[in-house]
Amino acid sequence: MSNTQIASAEVLVTSPGRNFVTLRLRTADGVEGLGDATVNGRELAVVSYLRDHLVPLLLGRDAHAIEDTWQYLYRGAYWRRGPITMAAIAAVDTALWDIKAKLAGMPLYQLLGGHSRRGCLAYGHASGADLPELFDSVRSHLEQGYRAIRIQTGIPGLDSVYGVATSPNAAVGGASRYDHEPARRAAAPVEEEWDTRAYLRHIPGVFEAVRAEFGPELPLLHDAHHRLAPIQAARLGKLLEPYDLFWLEDVTPAENTAVLRRVREHTTTPLAIGEVFNTVWDYRELFEEQLIDYVRSPVTHAGGITALRRIFDYASIYQIKSGVHGPTDVSPVGLAAALHLGVAIPNFGIQEYMKHSATTDEVFRPGFAFSGGLLSPGEEPGLGVSYDDAVAEAHPYSAAYLPVNRLKLDGSMHDW
């Protein structure tokens, strides 16, 4: 029998283009597992939670006891839920699944039930300051093999809009990587301006133009980044109905999920939400009243593989599917975990895929692959991701923040 006691637990911080927090567990016999604990813009809070409070509890525990460890950390804390707690628990849980699958000599998806599909349909991010730039970006994504595309554009009257690439077509020439959400390194967040009425006037015409240019087949998605009041969200859903969206994401702020009843009453545009949710409890009324169509939680922010699988099983009862968050601030470890779940679960919907930078991939060496529009987790035992300490250490942490959002009208802080 091998010795599967947890002998070491390291919290690794690196910044290959953007900041990542990774937990590495090692058993007494030297089997290693990785877990992603990155919370964009609040990274060091999770580092402390792990280093100061969880690592001491993990040493000596049996790495095989995944469910018991999850319950021990979740119920045992007394302080339940919240992004920092759940990212820390997620990292432990993911690392333990990585170890178990390596000990079994299998890719993780085999332990989750095996293949249910050839791969995970991925959507990419097309964006542009105006329509010609947006169309170029859509074409570039189609050339790269994407078979589903998120559409974000500049809004007349606003200098910059979150989610619109700063150099959208760089990927075509290969000069530099296009980046919609660059790490904004600074001591304080950048402030952006927002105008909801200008946005609502502009977006339907953008989708009309994209459908006219690219036809009816291509699945199109859009993210409203939590910025609308319920009645505005209902209106947007209704205005977008002729353009047959795959989904409309995060229409309203995340706390008051009951308002999605109002949105749902008015529109048949499919709804996705949940990238900032932490637990199954956030979804309860949304599932039971069938107010949404897709679950956005990633493994990293919803308590790990154990917890996210439970959320997906619950969703499946209501014909609700997965649509896992996959921005560049979810590390390759978090993305790999989503892909193992994604190929195995019965109710897979779609996977977001923005592509990490080449430097990020040098640190994490992911074994997953993108081909023909599908992402596949690969056949290496475990998660299929290995961490290169030397490369990681060459990219030390430096503070970076998401932008904040103020109304153009009078500078009030606005939702996002």
Q: Give the range of 72-80, 138-146, 315-323, 325-333 binding ligand CS2 by CB under 6 A.
A: 325-333
Does residue 266 sit in helix, strand or coil?
Answer: helix
Contact call for residue 179 and ligand CS2 (CB under 6 A): no
40 binds ligand CS2 (CB under 6 A): yes
Which helix (H) or strand (E) segment holds residue 350: the answer is strand 350-352
Q: Is residue 222 annotated as part of the catalytic site, yes or no? A: no
Stretch that binds ligand CS2, among 86-94, 202-210, 236-244, 324-332 (CB under 6 A): 324-332
**Residue 179 binds: one of Mg ion, ligand CS2, none (C-beta under 5 to 8 A by kind):** none
Q: Which does 181 bind (CB under 5 to 8 A by kind): ligand CS2, Mg ion, none?
A: ligand CS2
Q: For residue 154, what are its two tokens?
A: 């500049």
Interaction partner, residue 352 (ligand CS2, Mg ion, none; CB < 5-8 Å by kind): ligand CS2
Each residue 383-412 as x (binds ligand CS2 by CB under 6 A) or -, in order, gives -------------------x----------
List C-alpha distances in Å: 362 to 171, 326, 332, 389.
19, 18, 11, 10
CA 231, 236, 239, 244 dihedral sign is negative
DSSP state of 136: H
The burial of 169, by beta-carbon neighbours within 10 Å (0-12 exposed, 13-18 middle, 19 or more buried), is given as middle
| Alpha helix stretches (DSSP H) within 241-351 | 260-266, 284-288, 304-316, 332-344
Per the residue annotation, which of 225, 226, 340, 414 is the catalytic one?
225
In the three-class reduction of DSSP (H, G, I as helix; E, B as strand; rest coil), residue 20 is classed as strand
Cα–Cα distance measured from residue 128 to residue 267, given in angstroms and rounded to the nearest whole number: 27
Residue 334 binds ligand CS2, judged by CB under 6 A: no
Q: Which of 36, 98, 223, 380 binds Mg ion (CB under 5 A)?
A: 223
**Binding partner at 270 among ligand CS2, Mg ion, none, C-beta below 5 to 8 Å by kind:** none
What is the pairing mode between strands 6-14 and 20-27?
A: antiparallel
Q: Note whether 74 and 303 are within 8 A (CB).
A: yes
Question: Closest by alpha carbon to 207, among 134, 125, 291?
Answer: 134
Q: How many residues sit close enough to Mg ion to count as binding (CB under 5 A)? A: 1
Q: Using CB under 6 A, which of 323, 327, 342, 384 touches ligand CS2?
A: 327
Question: Which single residue brings its beta carbon nearest to Mg ion?
Answer: 223
Q: Applying CB under 5 A, which part among 8-16, 29-37, 222-230, 394-402 lies near Mg ion?
A: 222-230
Out of Mg ion, ligand CS2, none, what residue 192 binds, judged by CB under 5 to 8 A for its kind, is: none
Q: How near is the Cβ of 49 to ligand CS2 at its closest, in Å? A: 18
User: Out of 275, 282, 293, 380, which residue is the one contacting ligand CS2 (CB under 6 A)?
Assistant: 275
Annotation says 226 is catalytic: no
Q: Determine the Cα–Cα distance for residues 20 and 87; give it in Å rounded to an integer.
A: 12
Does residue 192 bind ligand CS2 (CB under 6 A)? no
In the Cβ-directed half-sphere of 177, how many Cα atoms lie within 13 Å? 14
Question: 218, 211 in Cβ contact below 8 A?
Answer: no
- Is the Cβ of residue 324 or residue 363 nearer to ligand CS2 in the bound state? 324
From the list Mg ion, ligand CS2, none, which binds 36 (C-beta under 5 to 8 Å, kind-based)?
A: none
Binding site for ligand CS2 (CB under 6 A): 40, 181, 223, 225, 275, 325, 327, 329, 352, 402
Q: Which residues are catalytic?
A: 162, 225
